[in-house]
Amino acid sequence: MIQGISHITFIVKDLEKMTKFLTTIFAAQEVYASGENFFSITKEKFFLIDDLWIAIMEGEPLAEKTYNHIAFKIAPEDYELYAARIKSLGVDVKEDRNRVEGEGRSLYFYDYDNHLFELHTGTLNQRLQNYLRAK
């Protein structure tokens, strides 16, 4: 039986750049760095964002940007705080997509390797309830 997500891995060109990205935006805690003595297929680092295990591994970045993404939940009152953190890194920020009123706000941004992230203030239940009302 599935118990939840074990970890999420991102392949990145520059481990140190991604370390700064994760620690600046998400206040991620670095818990492991392989250095030159790696046990997997390449150099890697592990982080915790709250209890979520994020792994980054050295490799070639994605060839292009897509809408495939991972979304993290944030409190509505923290939206501007995170927006400032993201903008301080100079990464590509996408404007929020058109939304049904009441489903929350989103901030979309790419890392240096074309991975898309989203910070979202709503919940699944809110979205479903607002979709029902919008019919």
Q: Which residue has the higher pLDDT, 124 or 25?
A: 25
3-class state of residue 126 by DSSP? helix
Helix then strand then coil, in percent of the chain rounded to 5, is 25, 30, 45
| pLDDT tens track for 105-127 | 899 999 999 999 999 998 888 88
Question: Which ranges constitute the DSSP H helices of 5-116?
Answer: 15-26, 79-88
The segment(s) of the chain belonging to CATH 3.10.180.10 are 1-60, 61-135
pLDDT in the model for residue 100? 66
pLDDT in the model for residue 103? 74
Active site residues: 44
| pLDDT tens track for 74-117 | 999 999 999 999 999 999 998 776 666 767 889 999 999 999 99
CATH 3.10.180.10 fits 1-60, yes or no: yes
Average pLDDT, the chain: 92
CATH of domain 61-135: 3.10.180.10
Binned at pLDDT 50, 70 and 90, residue 39 comes out as confident
pLDDT in the model for residue 128? 86
φ and ψ at residue 81, rounded to 5 degrees = -60, -50
Pairing between strand 44-49 and 52-58? Answer: antiparallel
pLDDT in the model for residue 132? 79
